Amino acid sequence: MEKVSRLGADFSLLLVTLVWGATFVVVKWAIADLPPFPFLAIRFALAFLSLLPFIILNHKKIDSKTVVKGLGIGVFLFSGYAWQTIGLQYTTASNAGFITGLSVVLVPALVAITTRTLPRPPLLIGVLSATIGLALLSLSEDFRLNQGDLLVLLCAISFALHIYLVGRYAPEADAAILAAAQILSVSLLSGLFSLIVPQSSMHFTANVWLGLVLTAIPATSLAFFIQTKMQQFTSPSHTALIFASEPVFSAIFAFFLAGEILTPRGLLGAALVLTGMLVAEFTGGSDPLARSK
């Protein structure tokens, strides 16, 4: 694949985020009938199967280091989903949404710690704007700490580590192989937790099949392949900032699909998230791990 500009890579990641936001309502409907861990196990298994033809065609590029790295990165991806699922039982959806979004702050912090270099001011401004926007978009006015907030913070840390590690290893690996290994890791771990953690009754309704079909390929195999490929040409901090727009897209699609209304406070929050992205994108806000030139 030819070299992609940073703007092109960031736009591709924005499309991935749009897909994730669009499927939020569908997933919410699906896990009402099928518990989250079995749903994730099947979703990621189908996603892995969809990548098998590409893996077979590129079998000469398979090497143990890439597979091991992908499986390891997948542990953090699964950890994010797992802690979020468990934490949601002990906190509010608004708290969970905001705390999960804190990966937009954690990723630049990881980059700064590992490279001993502070992010450039435009990136810091973008991150601050997006964080305030997430708070307005996600949190209720009577924000209170709950027992599950610490668990959801572990989810945010896990997602931040996933973004950081993909940015670190993607330039040296085949994107399809690295993405497939991550996806397989999540599927296997989700299946294991489905057996370990007590599950409510499972019903394979029309909503479940719709959720699986819509998420397995566009929101999983294709999405993580694009993330893995495009993080070769942009930085982890930019990726985290772009992914912070997921609640914005989910709110938009929730309005059209489920009739949920976004308040003026939420609209202001969405505007600040998008402003933060644009500030970092068009004023040169980057970090030392950026791959574009």
The DSSP string of 32-92 is: TTS-HHHHHHHHHHHHHHHHHHHHHHTGGG--HHHHHHHHHHHHHHHHHHHHHHHHTTSS-
Q: What is the structure's pLDDT at 291?
A: 44
Length of the chain: 293
Contact 115, 289 (CB under 8 A): yes
| Domain residue spans of the chain | 6-282
Task: Give CA torsion, residues 87, 92, 97, 98, to 10 deg.
Answer: -100
Q: What is the structure's pLDDT at 286?
A: 60
Residue 151 has pLDDT above 50, yes or no: yes
Mean pLDDT of 244-260: 80
Tell me the C-alpha distance between 74 and 184, whole Å.
8
Residue 93 has pLDDT above 80, yes or no: no
pLDDT in tens, 232-241: 999 898 899 9
What percentage of the chain exceeds 70 in pLDDT?
Answer: 93
